[in-house]
Chain A
Amino acid sequence: MKGVARSTTAPTGAARWWLTAHASLVYLFFYAPIVVLVLYSFNDSRIIGGWDGFTFRWYGEFAENRSVRDALAVSFRVALLSTAISVVLGTLSALSIERFRWRGRRLLDGVLYLPIIIPDVTMAVMLLVFFSEAADIIDRLPFIDLSSGLETLVISHVAFNISFVSVVVRARLANLDPSAEEAAADLYANRWQTFRRVTLPQIMPGVIGGALLAITLSLDDVVVSSFVQAIGSTPLPVFVFGLVRRGVSPLINAVSVFMLAASTGLVLVSLLVQRIRSSPGEPKELIP
């Protein structure tokens, strides 16, 4: 289908050369700072600017530093938990808005855009205020404690991630031909079967795209997290922010390289799994 058409409309000649050059330059832009931080993670000087020779010592310190490892564990747990929850809620809301006509639909639609629109500073402050007010109410209720563990972090990350997942899934859904679902219904598949066998596989690329975006936003969030983190749960970006405040050390470069490598590994594995499970031939799209 599209693949055939594409081959005849793909840019040719000068346009093609120009597009390729442009893409290469943009990727150079994307990776220039990454190259710098990988290089400096092997730098034997405490100072980022100078070069004192090659060393593994920051990776050694990373392996020994309990605080960094704790922060890393918090970050990964919060990212995975909040992504899982927001993927479910976001996908359901996307289905609900795109596939059904109901009275609160416009309200949900509006509310869903707000977390994207709101500047992160405002969101951080209002969640802090919310949790502090909630703590006041909670003090009066026995055996309830909202301000402990990872809950505040996960709750906050889900609050902004639902919207991003929903937007990506909706972009996919809006473009889908409902005829396959109708055919399934005509063949007496029940709703769950239709969803499981027809709808879900069709929107899967959107769901995966949304999940990638959610993980990225969660792993990178420093503003909201630094306001809402609870006892024993400093996530990595907040910890790094503190480290930078007290004199940066190449340790954080080593940690970043580790995160980069770990996430790359995760993506490769998930791509591989996806590829094995999908029928041979055209690989699935990552993003709708």
Chain B
Amino acid sequence: MTVIDPPAQVDPPVSPELETGARRAASRRGFLLGLPALLYLTVFFMVPLGIVVAYSFATRSRTGRTELRDWNLDAYARLGDDVVRTIAVRSLWIALATTLISLVLAYPLAYYMSTRTPTVRNILLVGVMLPFWSNFLVRTYAWRVLLDSDGLVSQATQAVGIGETRLLFTPTAVLIGLVYRYLPFMVLPLYAAIERIDWSLVEAARDLHASAWTAFRRVVWPLSLPGVIAGSILVFVPSFGAYVTPAILGGNKEGLLGSFIVSQFLSARNGPVGASLSVVVLSVMLVATLWYFRSGGRNL
């Protein structure tokens, strides 16, 4: 993740000693403001993360307890199995498809929202969040009702003469479920980015006889890029590790990374392999995210 420089401190031109003093004071204040979050995340995130790393080198006892002895790389060696590669690639494709579909659905919506009056905008925004204050599992089961062979979707396709469609327990159903679950995570940052665009730039482009499409491509799209990047990360990351939605709507007939990690930790009670896979997934995601942010050239 790139760190953009904070707005330049607008210290008046004063003697070097005073300037150093002011900078020190600012540094101290920044430190004090950031300290609570830093401490909190260190104790309750970084330390737990360290334990997972330790577990990945540990040994499974006969009863399935993870014992911190006989340090070894066996758990990492297991990740070379064909089955792990297959499910990793499959999870990657599903996450990419979910992200792309969400972007295509969310962008016009965010654009539409940001061109409404403020009151309508607020209503539309709350409208995006509202469904997510019911229960996630219950919503997913409601999708089952919509997608099964006498569900609404099937009845609609029958009505237009395509015949009965059973989407439930297909990869399409998994995609529908994942897009549904994570679409708001795409809409919110996109809206935040598009809404801030200085529309006089678009006007200027149009004045210079740019077509609507050119104006969009050359002005709006580049300016909304931070939102696109933030949104795609917020969608890609959780759909890569998702396991409840694919299980309920996809029938779990094909392995995915999330369910594989869960089955290692729970069914097999194999802490080291679950931990090693988590560590690898986290490292890859971190590097990918850093690279993605850098290539976007902006922070969130």
Closest to A160 in B: B45
Known contacts A36-B146, A113-B289, A167-B300: A130-B48 contact under CB 8 Å = yes
Write out, one digit per residue, whether chain B residues 180-194 have a CB within 8 A of any chain A CB (1) or not (0): 100110001101110
A129 touches B52 (CB 8 A): yes
Taking residues whose C-beta sits less than 8 angstroms from the other chain, chain B's interface range is 35 or more
- B contact residues vs A (CB 8 Å cutoff): 1, 3-7, 9-10, 23, 26-34, 36-38, 40-42, 44-49, 51-52, 55, 66, 105-106, 108-109, 111-113, 115, 118-119, 121-122, 124-146, 148, 150, 152, 180, 183-184, 188-189, 191-193, 195-196, 198-200, 202-203, 206, 212, 226, 230, 233-234, 237-238, 240-241, 243-244, 257-258, 261-262, 265, 271, 274-275, 278, 281-282, 285-286, 289, 299-300
Within 8 Å by CB of B6, from A100, A116, A283, lies: A100
Residues of chain B with a CB closer than 8 A to A117's CB? 233, 237, 282, 285-286, 289
- A contact residues vs B (CB 8 Å cutoff): 2-3, 5-6, 8-11, 15, 18-20, 22-23, 26-27, 29-34, 36-37, 40, 48-49, 88-90, 92-93, 95-122, 125-127, 129-130, 133, 155-156, 158-159, 162, 166-168, 170-172, 174-175, 178, 182, 209, 212-213, 215-216, 219-220, 222-223, 236-237, 240-241, 244, 248, 252-253, 255-257, 259-260, 263-264, 267, 271, 282-283, 285-288
Known contacts A23-B112, A118-B282: A34-B131 contact under CB 8 Å = yes
Residues of chain A with a CB closer than 8 A to B265's CB? 121, 125
A125 touches B6 (CB 8 A): no
Residues of chain B with a CB closer than 8 A to A93's CB? 33-34, 36-38
B30 touches A159 (CB 8 A): no
> A1: shortest Cβ distance to chain B, in Å?
9
B49 touches A114 (CB 8 A): yes
B203 touches A9 (CB 8 A): yes
B1 touches A110 (CB 8 A): yes
Give Cα distance in the complex from A241 to B247, angstroms: 13
Kindly count the residue-residue contacts between A and B in the assembled complex, taking CB atoms under 8 Å apart.
332
Closest to B277 in A: A122
